[in-house]
Amino acid sequence: MAIGVKFEKRLNPSAAMNVTVPLLSVLAALAVGALFLLLTGRDPVEVYEAMFKGALGSSYGLAETVVKGIPLMLCALGISVAFRMQLWNIGAEGQFYMGAFAASWLPLTFPDLPAAVMLPGMLLLGCAAGGLWGLIPALLRARWKVNEIITTLMFNYVAILWVDYLVYGPWKDPKGFNFPLSAKFPAAAALPTFGTSRVHVGLILAVLLAGVFWVVFTKSRWGYEIKVIGSSEQAARYAGMDIKGNIYRVMLLSGAVCGLAGMTEVSGIVGRLQPGLSPGYGYTAIIVAWLSKLHPAAILVVAILFGALQVGGFFVQTMGVPASVSAMLQGAVLFFVVGGEFLTQYRIVLARKEAA
C-alpha cells in the first residue's frame, strides 16, 4: 500500500475562503518569520513593528511606500491586460525600460520645451515605445506561434542592454566625467509631485487606469472578447472573434502601460536616464498582478503592500537586521500567500494506492 497525494481542483472556492486564506497566509508567514528572527536572536515584535513603522507608520514612510508602489501598480495593470487573455507577458521589465528610454529622448533632445508640451510628449513616447516593445512578441506569436513567454523575457535583456548602451555611449552626459548617466532632465520634464513628497502624478494615472480597466474588463465588449479568448481560444474562434487582432491590441496596451511606468519613473523620480532604473519592478509586478487575481482595484492595494514590504525591509536593516533576513521575510510572505492561494483553488486528497 502506498499513500498518494492528489490535488483536486475545487469547483467553486467559497467567498469566505477567498478572504480568509490570504489573511491567514500572511499571518502564517509572519509567524514563521518570527520563529526565524527568534532563532537568529532578534525580537520579532520589535522588527515587525519597525517594519510597519518604516513603511506605513509615518507620512514620509507612507509616501515612500506609495512611490515604490506606483511602478508596481502600472506594470501590474499592464501585465493584467495580457494575463486576462492568457498571454503571458513576462516582458514588463523590458517595456518599462523602453518606455523610460523613449520618454528620455524628448528632454535630452529638446530641453527647452515647456512642461505643457514636454510631459504629454514624454508620456506618449513612453507608452508608444513600451507598446511597440510588446507588439513585436505579439506579432511573432500571432504569425508564427512563437511562444511569447520566451520572446518577452528575451526582450527584457535587449531593452536593458539598449539603455546601458545609450548611457555608456551616445547619451552619456558630456559633463558627467564619463560616468554612465544621461544629462539631468530640465525641470519642465519632471512630473508634478504632491507637496514635498516624492509621490508624483503617476499615482493618479495608475488610479485612473485601474478605473478604466475595471470598466473595460467587466463591462465592455472588448473586455468580453478578452475574457472569452483567455478562457477558450477555440470558443472564441467559434464565436467569430478576431484572435490575432486581439493579441496585437492586448500586447500593445499591456506594453504601453508598462512603458508608462518607465516614463513616470524617469520623469517623476530619477530625472535622468541611467542603468539600474528598475530593481525588477517588471518581475515583482507579475506576482502583484497574479495575487490580485488580475483585478484592477486589488492591484492597487497589493502593489502598495509590496511597496510596504520592501520599504519596511530596508527600514529594519537599521536595526541590525541584515538584508538577507528581510529578503527572507518577504520571501516567506510570498510563499505562504501563493501557497494559500493554491489551497483555495485545490484541495489535497490523500488517496491510498494499491502497490503495484
Partner 1 sequence: MKNRKFLIFMTVVMALALVLAGCGGKKEEPKKDAPKAAEKIKVAFVYVGPVGDGGWTYAHDQARKYLESKMPDVQTVFVESVPEGADSERVITQLVEQGAKIVFTTSFGYMDPTINVAKKYPNVTFMHCSGFKTAPNVGTYFGRMYQARYLSGIVAGKQTKSNVIGYVAAFPIPEVVRGINAFTVGVRSVNPQAKVKVIWTNTWYDPAKEKQAAMSLLDAGADVITQHQDTPGPMQAAQEKGKFGIGYNTDMSKMAPKAVMTSPVWNWGPYYVKVVEGVKNKTWKNEQYWGSLKENVVDLAPFGPMVPEETKKLVADAKKKIVDGSWDVFWGPVKDQTGAVKIAAGQKMSDADMLSFNWFVEGVDGTISK
Partner 2 sequence: MKKMAAGGCAVVFITHKMNEVQEVADRVTVLRGGKVSGTMLCRDVHAQELVWLMVGRKVSLNTPHLAHDGCGDEILQLKDVTALNDSGRPGLNSVSLSLRAGQIFGIAGVAGNGQKELAEVLTGLRPVTGGSVEYMGELVTNLPPAELIRRGISYVPEDRLGMGLVPNLDAVENMLLKSYQNPEFSGRWLIDRQAAEARTAELVRQYNVKLAGLNQPVRSMSGGNLQKLLLAREIAGQPKLIVVVYPARGLDVGATEGIHNLLLELRDRGTAILLVSEDLDELMKLSDRVGVMFGGLMAGNFAIEEVDLEEVGLLMMGLFRREEEQIHGDRR
Interacting residues toward partner 1 by CB under 8 A = 24, 27-28, 30-31, 34, 43-46, 48-49, 54, 58, 60-61, 64, 67-68, 164-165, 168-169, 176-180, 184, 198, 265, 269-272, 274, 276-279, 310-311, 314-315, 317-318, 320, 322-324, 343, 347-348, 350
Per DSSP, the three-state class of 192 is coil
Q: Examine residue 256 and tell whether it contacts partner 2 (CB under 8 A).
A: no
> What is the nearest approach in angstroms of partner 2 to the Cβ of residue 22?
21
Up-side HSE of residue 35: CA atoms within 13 Å toward CB? 6
Q: Which of 126, 110, 67 is nearest to 270 (CA)?
A: 67
Tell me: does residue 347 bind partner 2 (CB under 8 A). Answer: no
User: Which of 10, 327, 266 is closest to 123 using CA atoms?
Assistant: 266
**Interacting partner of 140 out of partner 2, partner 1, none (Cβ under 5 to 8 A depending on kind):** none
* Contact criterion met (CB below 8 Å) for 134 and 258: yes
Question: If binding means CB under 8 A, how many residues of this protein chain bind partner 2?
Answer: 21
What would the DSSP string read from start to end of 310-328? HHHHHHHHTTT--HHHHHH
Q: Write out the three cell numbers for 121.
A: 510628449
Nearest distance from C-beta of residue 320 to partner 1, angstroms: 8
Q: Which is nearer to partner 2, 238 or 342 (CB)?
A: 238
Compute the least distance from the CB of residue 239 to partner 2, in Å: 5
CA distance 109 to 103: 11
Distance CA 65, CA 72 (A): 11
The backbone torsions φ and ψ at residue 115, rounded to the nearest 5 degrees and listed phi first, read -55, -35
**By CB under 8 A, residue 328 contacts partner 2:** no
Main-chain dihedrals φ then ψ at residue 149, nearest 5 degrees: -60, -45
Closest CA to 291 of 22, 90, 34: 22
Q: Is 240 in the site for partner 2 (CB under 8 A)?
A: yes
Binding site partner of 235, from partner 2, partner 1, none, Cβ cut-off 5-8 A by kind: partner 2
Do residues 82 and 89 make contact, with C-beta atoms less than 8 angstroms apart? yes
Q: How far is CA 24 from the centre of its chain?
A: 24
Q: Whose CA is closest to 339, among 4, 25, 89?
A: 25
- Which one of 231, 339, 342, 351 is in contact with partner 2 (CB under 8 A)? 231
Cβ nearer to partner 2, comparing 168 with 224:
224
Minimum CB distance to partner 1, residue 263 (Å): 14
Query: Per the structure block, which three cell numbers stand in for 108?
Result: 535630452
C-alpha cell at 218: 467587466
Nearer to partner 1, 36 or 248 (CB): 36
Site for partner 2 in 197-216 (CB under 8 A): 215
Is residue 224 within the footprint of partner 2 (CB under 8 A)?
yes
**Binding of residue 302 to partner 2 (CB under 8 A):** no
Is 4 a residue that touches partner 2 (CB under 8 A)? no
Question: Is residue 14 a contact residue for partner 2 (CB under 8 A)?
Answer: no
Residue 228 engages partner 2 in binding (rule: CB under 8 A): yes
Binding site for partner 2 (CB under 8 A): 11-12, 215, 219-222, 224-225, 227-228, 231-232, 234-235, 237-242
